[in-house]
Amino acid sequence: MRGLLLALLFSVLISGTALAQPVSEPARTNLILTIQASPQLVPGERGDLQLELHNPYPWAMENVSLFGEVYAFLHRAERTDIAGLPNSPSLGTGGSTWTRVEFGSLPAADRRTVTILVETSAQTPGGTVFTQGVYLLRFRLDFDYEGGLHAVMVSPGFYTAEEWTFATRDATPQEQAAYRYIGFANYSYLGLVLGLPSIDGILPDSGFGVKEPLPLWPFQLLAVGAGISIAGSGYYFWRERRTSGKS
């Protein structure tokens, strides 16, 4: 991975991309995408994932495109990539594990609610009755802004644990000067992993739960048992009264 950083060094020094652009200010990018509600589903059910997209800039965001994708399943601390999981959930109406929402323009300070349909089948893997299964979601946001510039923001789900740890480790002063660091992260390296000169912001990951429903038969047995107990008590009470009356 150090070889990748060395390969970036010359291009970064020449182009000057180590300087942070106003579009990447964490105080603004942290406000762009908010997870409002995540569904908790039983296999075979569908529900809505609700997001809020906010333009925190003093200028319009143009050609806005939000990409969302289910990328992994987590159960009992074991993670399975979605590519190796049959009958995985789908997003939107296309029956795919990913969806894209397009906006023509998002004016300054405007907010939009984004609703993404999450659909499961009866065969969709989930948690057990007592353990929750969680499907992980990652997001990518593309938009144009003033001056004809283009921004790309992504969530951590696009990176392996090793890549994310490397990009967010403590940097040396030389690395801080050579690469584009915003806050705690090396945006140059995170961009290189995705085939980009740099990313422009970090979005939150999200997820939704899938869990087997609590079976009804134990409660039905309890109800039957309670009914038998009540009937038995009534019968013995009736016999006791009848015996007392005869004596």
Same domain, 56 and 137: yes
Judge if 134 and 178 occupy the same domain.
yes
Give the three-state DSSP class for 106. Answer: strand
177 and 93 both lie in a single domain: yes
Is 170 found in the same domain as 198? yes
pLDDT at 139: 98
Tokens of 19: 């300087």
List the domain range (segments joined by +) for residue 83: 2-214
Looking at the fold, whether 95 and 181 belong to one and the same domain comes out as yes
Say yes or no: 143 and 240 in one domain.
Answer: no
| 240 plus 129 within the same structural domain | no
Helix runs in the chain, H state only: 2-15, 26-29, 161-168, 173-178, 187-193, 217-246
pTM: 0.79
Q: What is the pLDDT of residue 9?
A: 42
**Residue that wins the pLDDT comparison between 227 and 181:** 181
Position 146 scores a pLDDT of 92
For the segment 81-97, the average pLDDT, to the nearest whole number, is: 94
In the structure, what pLDDT confidence band is assigned to residue 14 with cuts at 50, 70 and 90?
A: very low
The C-alpha angle 207, 52, 74, rounded to 5 degrees, equals: 5
* Least confident residue range of 19-23, 110-114, 145-149: 19-23
Same domain membership, residue 246 and residue 195: no
Given a cut of 50, is residue 219 above it in pLDDT?
no
Give me the mean pLDDT over the 30-44 stretch. Answer: 96
- Phi/psi for 193 (5° steps) reads -60, -35
**pLDDT at 6 (0 to 100):** 43
Q: Strand 78-81 to strand 149-154: parallel, antiparallel, or no bridges (unpaired)?
A: unpaired
Which of 17-26, 122-131, 164-173, 188-197 has the weakest average pLDDT?
17-26
Residue 90 backbone zone (phi > 0: left; psi -120 to 50: alpha; other: beta): beta
55-64, 135-144, 233-242: least confident range: 233-242
HSE at residue 97, side-chain half, CA atoms within 13 A, is 20
Token pair belonging to 12: 């970064």
pLDDT at 193: 98
Are 154 and 183 in a shared domain? yes
Give the total number of structural domains in the chain.
Answer: 2
pLDDT grade, residue 197 (50/70/90)? very high
Residue 103: CATH number of its domain = 2.60.40.10
Mean pLDDT over each residue of the chain, to the nearest integer: 85
Q: What confidence tier does 240 reach under pLDDT thresholds 50, 70, 90? A: low
Average pLDDT over residues 143-149: 95
Question: Cβ-count burial of 73 within 10 angstroms (0-12 exposed, 13-18 middle, 19+ buried)?
Answer: buried
**87 and 21 inside one domain:** yes
Same domain, 180 and 206: yes
143 and 223 co-located in one domain:
no
pLDDT (0 to 100) of residue 221: 38
